Every structure is written in structure tokens, then in C-alpha cells.
Copies of this chain bind each other. A is one copy, B any other.
Amino acid sequence: MPRSLLRRPSSSLLAIAIQLASAFSTFSPPPSSSSPLAPATAAASPPPTIIMTDDDVDVVAASASNDDDDDDDVPGDGDGSSDFPPPRDRSSDLLIDGWFHERNDLWPGQAFALKVKEVLYHKRSRFQDVLVFDSESYGRVLVLDGVIQATERDEHSYSEMMAHLPLYSHPNPEKVLVIGGGDGGVLREVARHPSVSEIVICELDADVISVSRRYLPSMAVGFDDPRVRINVMDGARFMDENRGAFDVIITDSSDPVGPASVLFETPFYRAMHGSLRPGGIVCTQGECLWLHLDLIRPLISAITPLFRTVEYAYTTIPSYPSGQIGFVIATKAGEERDGDTNEEDYDNKRQKTEDAGRDGCGGDGGGGCKVPRRVPDEEEARRLRYYTPEVHRAAFVLPAFARRAIFGE
């Protein structure tokens, strides 16, 4: 769940442009992981189109220099300065005795640990502590500010669910915005949908992109799709400037501490709502129902008036705290969503939905996202490792304690 930081001081634009320029310099892809579960490394393909919609970028981009050095020198400002205060737990403090221990005040008293084979990269970007290591049994691992963001072994669960829950809930997604998501895994999944004509990503930390392209090619392959356009900028600002533009907005963020906390507040959801087309869908990283009900409940309450439907789903993923992570999924009212091209098919689906709702497994009589409106074709289904239409529906079925806490049922 790579982070997007919303409040970036404009003084950092030059550095960002430099970072961005070298994010697509000619890195040689590393050998693919030894993990038996790691996906095959994608074939080399041309770098994506880069859009710089930030006002200042045209100027600074001209003076950006390429950095062709591929010897462990993924670009950063290098002076140790930061736009945000350093986190309490730096990754180096968590590398103990050959293991990485994910200790954090967000999950006090518990920690997932991975045995480290080799640290491949460890530097502080302008925004955060960036660590990549090769693990004994989870392939390569990306860690930001001491928190595991993705491992080659299980990222597919998160990436597939975060992309396909909203995309298969939409009858015809064309324009998709990803906020955060700098490792590329979610992009890779969005790109599986042939109806999608444009995929815009707003990731503030260009180092995450460059590090992922270098060390995590099975995820960063997502950047290689020709429909992908990259903004290194503030996602909220981009949305303000692009209202009513997207069918699906996915926020692949880090945890709600420090600057990322705004991603869990109502104004950010209002911005997403404004940037959606009628009938559009947002899907955001929604923390863990075993750990953060006190965060999830007020968020759901606060944003419910904004959207037509607000729902919560989750996926299992061993390398995230408590072994799972949730998604807040909300739909915007709109005639497009109500008017399927195939009326009969829609009526059938709605009937099924209502039946399912009565029967208690993933019904969404209210027009939400609990029942997919499209399904992967046979070939695509074979490629997916976690998502199925059945998993889609089951993902919305919450344990009693969580359903009570979040929805009062």
C-alpha cells in the first residue's frame, strides 16, 4: 500500500522533477525472485507516458538531469532532509538479528516478522524511509517508514482485490485514477480491463516508483501499460482540477499517521466524490477490522451522506498486520449507473442481488458493489490468483463483531 502524501510543499518540486526523470532511467531489471509464488517478471516494454499537471513542473522538468547510474543509487535528495518529521520507527531499528520486525504503535504489542536474506536498498526519500529486502520466504519486500507495503509472495491478494472490487462493480469503466500505488501492482490489475482507456496515477514519492521498477518488476510492470500516465503530485489537487472525470478512483495509501492521515478524512472523500463521473466508484485502503474499528466506524459514518452507497470489504494477506486489510468502497449516484445497456441483464442481476441479500451472502439491494456487474472472461480468470466473482461477494461479509461496530447491525 504505497503512500500518497497530499500536502507537499511546492519548494520540493525541483527535487521531485529530478527524482521523476531518473525514475525512468535505464535500470536493468533484476533477476526474478526465487519465491515459488512470485509472478513471472514481465517482458521489457517502453516506459509510460508521464503527465505533469502540476503548475510548476514544466519549468523544473526542463532542468531535470537523468541519472543513469544503476549502482544502488536510486535517486533521492540525498541530504537527509524531509518535508515531514522522521517516523518514530525507522526501518534500521526494526532489522534485528537477521529479521525485519514490523513493530508499530498502530498495532501495539504485536508484530509480524520476516527473515531477511539481503537488504537490497535502504535510503530516505524526501518523504519517507524506503527499504527493500530479499526475504527468505516472501520474495522481495517493500517497506516504507517501517511498514511492509508489498511482498512478492502475497501482494496479488491486495492488488487484485483493490482493483477488481470497484472495476468489476462498474458496468463500463473507462477512466481510472489511482492515488498512491507507486509499486505498480494495482496499475497492473487495472490494466487487465479492456474497457479502460486511460489510467492516471498520482504518486507523490517518485523514489517509490523508481525503487519498484528496479527491485519489484512483477509489480512495476503495471507502469508499462501504454494507457498509464503518471503524475508526481498532490492527489487532492489533481482531483480538484479534474472534476467529474473518472469512473473509478482507487486510493492505495499507507496508514493514517502523519501526512497520510488526511486520506482518511471527509474532505478527501469529498474531493474523490467531486472527481467521479456520475455512477462512479471509489475504493480506498480501509485498514484492518481486527485492529482499527475505532477508525473505520467514524469514517464510514462521516462519508455515508456524501455517497449513494458506502460499503466495507476485506481481503486476507499474511504480510499485513493481523493478516488482512479492508477496503472502503463507495458509489456516486448517477444515471449511468442505473442505466445498463442491457436492461434485461441488469434486471436479472438486480433480482439475484436482492435474493442474495435476503439469503445473507453479499446482497446489495441498495445498488452497491457487493455483487459484481461483470465477471472476468475465462482466459482472464485463469490469470487471476486471488479474485473470483465468488470472492468478490464474500469479501463484503463481515464477522459479527465488525458488522455491529461499523454498521450497527
* A399-B157 contact in complex given A316-B316, A356-B359, C-beta closer than 8 Å: yes
Say which residue of B135, B360, B401 sits within 8 Å of A389 (CB atoms). B360
Is A62 in the interface zone, CB < 8 Å from B? no
Quickly give the copy total for this chain.
Answer: 2
Is A266 in the interface zone, CB < 8 Å from B? no
A93–B390 Cα distance when bound, in Å, is 43
Do A113 and B110 have beta carbons less than 8 Å apart? yes
State how many residues of chain A have any CB contact under 8 Å with chain B. Answer: 49
| A213 neighbours in B (Cβ, 8 Å) | none
A108-144 CB contacts (< 8 Å) to partner B: 108-115, 135-138
Specify the chain B residue showing the minimal Cβ separation from A161.
Answer: B399
Binary interface encoding of chain A residues 25-39 relative to chain B, with 1 for a CB under 8 A from any of its CBs, else 0: 000000000000000
| A388 neighbours in B (Cβ, 8 Å) | 360, 397, 399-400, 403
* A399-B403 contact in complex given A109-B138, A362-B361, C-beta closer than 8 Å: no
Specify the chain B residue showing the minimal Cβ separation from A402.
Answer: B386
Chain B nearest CB: distance from A109 CB in Å? 3
Specify the chain B residue showing the minimal Cβ separation from A381.
Answer: B400
Chain B nearest CB: distance from A300 CB in Å? 18
Do A390 and B397 have beta carbons less than 8 Å apart? yes
Q: Which of A191-199, A273-281, A317-325 contacts B (4 or more CB under 8 A)?
A: A317-325
Is A387 in the interface zone, CB < 8 Å from B? yes
12 sampled A-B residue pairs with Cβ under 8 A: A109-B114, A110-B112, A112-B112, A290-B316, A290-B318, A291-B318, A318-B321, A322-B323, A360-B389, A361-B362, A381-B400, A391-B398
Binding site for B on A (CB under 8 A): 99, 101, 108-115, 135-138, 154, 157, 290-291, 316-318, 321-324, 352, 355-356, 359-362, 381, 384-391, 393-394, 397-401, 403
